[in-house]
Amino acid sequence: MQFRLTCMKRGDSRARCGEIKTNRGIIPTPVFMPVGTQATVKTLTPKQLEDVGVKILLCNTYHLSLRPGEEVIKKLGGLHRFMGWDGPILTDSGGFQVFSLSDLTKISDKGVEFQSPVCGTRVSLSPERSIEIQNALGADIITAFDECVPYPCERDRAERAMLRTVTWAKRCLDARKNPEQALFGIIQGSVFKELRSKCVEQLVEMDFDGYAIGGLSVGEGKYLMNEVLNYTVDQLPANKPRYLMGVGMPEDILNAIEYGVDMFDCVIPTRNGRNGWAFTSRGKIKIRNSRYKDDASPLDERCGCYTCQRFSRAYIRHLFNADEILGLSLLSLHNIYFFIDMVRQARQAILNGSFKDFKAGFISNLSETVDKEVSPR
């Protein structure tokens, strides 16, 4: 993997553009990665994703190791061939899943033991095992095994997890066997600046291929998240990709782009889509609402996606109320397009030197959202 900057830091914005070159194609940054946890972006085909401009997908190490198992995927030609996706893939390490299933896990310096939610057996996941799985899957970009803590979290607990994350990162580097796979280190430290700074310092000394910012969007709120991003990104090397993990509301992505973040992933577009929420240039709409019963307009008149070019709000509402799978697919497709197009527009604005104006205008238009958001994870 190679990374080069094409544009950065114009005026008072730290937003930047770049290109990540992999053996399976070039990824323009900033970039949004749809989440394909189980080797599929729910309800969508690889061709649909390709058609809306998706350049890279994220898949989940933890879940794929449990089902169908990395050896099955490796035997069938690797993750790309297994899921029919020809573009680049990034795999997360499984660290966040360990966090989210904390009631089932036991963490030590060696790694994690947990009860499989698939079959109930005890499973061990260590830094070496995480890299072994990711190597077998054959992803283009892999991530170091880390320990994520909840918010709020006592400083001592956050420090122990950060130090463990640093130790595990070195073990991941030592365990990597395929030089064709780029390896990203993950920064932890909760909302404590000195812990984040210490983590960055030690990971940068290890010279990873890129750096992921983990442990955010876990309950700390937007103010603290932006504060952490602001000082963390400043300490990262300019010549390496910066990846914000699991953060995906439009305004959060645009704020992070302004701080100089390059890569994003989140389940928000598809999870919202499956629950009947559509992102539009004027805010989110709940398609099941009765006011759309005979609405002949598209989800978003400014949108160029297949859903908006072919179908009305009334039709999509009918599909949801009739429990037709097509409704979930069409709305998920639209939402993915919305996020991909938003980041594309952000990139163009950076190149034009107008990102701050673009961001302010885009966010101000998202004014119709009045209902409670769906959980981002």
The residue from 235, 266, 297 where one domain ends is 266
Residues 146, 252, 265, 300: which is the catalytic one?
Answer: 265
Residues 227 and 319 placed together within one structural domain of the fold:
no
Q: 53-71: per-residue pLDDT in tens? A: 999 999 999 999 999 999 9
Residues 28 and 124 placed together within one structural domain of the fold:
yes
Q: 110-169: per-residue pLDDT in tens? A: 999 988 878 888 889 999 999 999 999 999 999 999 999 999 999 999 999 999 999 999
Domain that holds residue 8: 2-266
Residues 223 and 356 placed together within one structural domain of the fold:
no
Looking at per-residue confidence, does 7 or 191 come out higher? 191
Residues 188 and 291 placed together within one structural domain of the fold:
no
Burial class for 223, CB neighbours closer than 10 Å (0-12, 13-18, 19+): exposed
Number of domains in the chain: 2
Residues 44 and 120 placed together within one structural domain of the fold:
yes
Residues 234 and 124 placed together within one structural domain of the fold:
yes
The residue from 266, 298, 313 where one domain ends is 266
Q: What contacts 24+ positions apart, CB below 8 Å, involve 3-11?
A: 3/209, 3/210, 3/239, 3/240, 3/241, 5/238, 5/239, 6/351, 7/350, 7/351, 8/238, 8/260, 9/260, 10/350, 10/353, 10/355, 11/353, 11/356
Residue 174 sits in a domain whose CATH number is 3.20.20.105
Residues 189 and 332 placed together within one structural domain of the fold:
no
Residues 92, 262, 300, 341: which is the catalytic one?
Answer: 92
- Report whether pLDDT(273) > 50: yes
- For this structure, is 209 an active site residue? no
pTM for this predicted structure: 0.95
pLDDT band at 193 (very low <50, low <70, confident <90, very high): very high
Cα–Cα nearest to 206, from 166, 155, 244, 241: 166
**Any domain includes 18:** yes
Residues 132 and 47 placed together within one structural domain of the fold:
yes
C-alpha span between 288 and 312 (Å, rounded): 13
Q: Provide the pLDDT for residue 106.
A: 87
Cβ atoms within 10 Å, residue 251: 12
The residue from 266, 292, 327 where one domain ends is 266
Instruction: Describe the chain by its helix, strand, coil percentages, rounded to 5.
Output: 45, 20, 35
- For this structure, is 92 an active site residue? yes
Q: Which two tokens stand for residue 267?
A: 């389940």
Residues 75 and 92 placed together within one structural domain of the fold:
yes
Q: Provide the pLDDT for residue 132.
A: 98
The SS3 of residue 277 is strand
**Any domain includes 185:** yes
